[in-house]
Structure 1
Amino acid sequence: MFKPGPIYLFRVPEDEELISYLTRFAKEKNIKTGVVNAIGALKKCTLGFYDQQKQVYEYIKIEEEVELTNLSGNISIKEGEPFVHVHAVVGKRDGSTYSGHLVEAKVFVAEVLIMELAGGAELVRQKHGGLWLWR
């Protein structure tokens, strides 16, 4: 069981790469386990879809402005370092959406909430599927 720790509410600067920024933030604040939520807008992004049969990610590159309608995920420890694992739903100008594992994203604006959890959830590589999941 984890207990709630500090809550961080902040904005990510324009043109930052979102995953790198969140990872740096987690390292600076020494966050070992946490819950991540965000909304905003992105200049471009790459999403991943995990093919369960082939056990590999397929990538969706989006090279246009999109709304970040929802980002949710977690921070855990992977090989001794904070690891940000988030999924996103992004909306295009025509109202269509894409969703999946957020691989990278160039920020236009992003408002982020991180709730730290006391303790440390460690990720281990699973034999079945090769994914990194909580121990």
Structure 2
Amino acid sequence: MFKKRFLLLPALLATLAFGASAQDLTGKYTRTPTGYLMVLRNGDDVIAHLERLAAVEQIPSASIVGIGFMREAKFGFYDFSRKVFDPKTFKDVELANLTGSIAWKEGKPSIHAHGIVTDGTFIGAGGHLLGLTVGTGSCEITVMLHPHRLERFVDPAIGANVLGLHPGAK
């Protein structure tokens, strides 16, 4: 009994840390041979669900790809001189591509993703994703696991977050 409770502790701590109940992910992802497949539905916050998945499953690091219909997609273009993102929001768009990574920063999951969305005129926009909310239909995300825990850190030379490789990387 003690061992079973001890094994559930990381998931419980992750749930408390992110203010989410375990049910938030119920029925939204499944294990695959290379990682996970996540299917989100209307109103789901894509970034928040990826963070919860990383915390609950203790994903060391991963690459992500996805597609779907978004109620809202918020992109940012990073202004290095001001050290802030200039945001722009698009509504009711197809997510033609989501590409990114899952790593860790200061003990919390860190999602870095870029994407391209298109509207009914087939004109596209894209960039660094600041937020995604699923619209009607769904959003499908493949999470491909990496064996080492990777951390993000602020590179002092550029003043922005970068992904650090594990110590044995070549």
**Distance (whole Å) between structure 1 residues aligned to residue 108 and residue 38 of structure 2:** 22
Q: 1:12 aligns with which of 37, 40, 44?
A: 40
Question: Is 1:45–2:73 an aligned residue pair?
Answer: yes
Rounded Cα–Cα distance in structure 2 between residues aligned with 1:99 and 1:122:
25
Structure 2: distance between partners of 1:95 and 1:45: 16
Q: Quote the Cα distance in structure 1 between the aligned partners of 2:147 and 2:47.
A: 22
In 1: Cα distance, 2:38 partner to 2:72 partner: 21
Q: Please, which of 109, 132, 141 is the counterpart of residue 112 of structure 1? A: 141
Q: Could you tell me how far 1:12 is from its partner in structure 2? A: 1.0
Equivalent-residue separation in structure 2 for 1:21 and 1:39 (angstroms) = 15
More strand by share: 1
Rounded to whole Å, the distance in 2 between the matches of 1:45 and 1:18 is 10
AA aligned to 2:124 is T
For 2:49 and 2:38, how far apart are their aligned partners in 1?
12
User: Residues 36 and 113 of structure 1 are in contact (CA less than 8 Å); yes or no, is this contact kept in structure 2?
Assistant: yes
Query: Is the helix fraction higher in 1 or 2?
Result: 2
What secondary structure sits across from 1:67 in the alignment?
Answer: strand
Is 1:134 aligned with 2:163? yes
* 1:81 counterpart residue number: 108
> Bigger radius of gyration, 1 or 2?
2
Alignment length (residue pairs): 130
| Aligned counterpart in structure 1 of residue 154 of structure 2, from 125, 129, 135 | 125
Hey, what does 2:53 align to over in structure 1? 25
**For the residues of structure 2 that align with 1:18 and 1:25, how far apart are their CA atoms?**
11
Aligned to 1:67: 94
Letter in 2 for 1:122: E
SS at match of 2:42: coil
Q: Does the 8 Å CA contact 1:55/1:129 hold for their aligned counterparts?
A: no
Pick one of 90, 113, 129 that aligns with 1:102. Answer: 129
| Root-mean-square deviation over aligned CA pairs | 1.4
Which ranges of 4 or more aligned residues in structure 1 deviate by more than 4 Å?
A: none
Q: TM-score, normalised by structure 2?
A: 0.72
Unmatched segments (≥5 aa) in structure 2: 1-32, 165-170
Higher relative contact order, chain-length normalized (CA < 8 Å, sep 6+): 1
1:32–1:82 Cα contact (<8 Å) kept: no
Return the alpha-carbon distance in structure 1 between the equivalents of residues 41 and 66 of structure 2.
13
Provide TM-score, normalisation by structure 1: 0.89
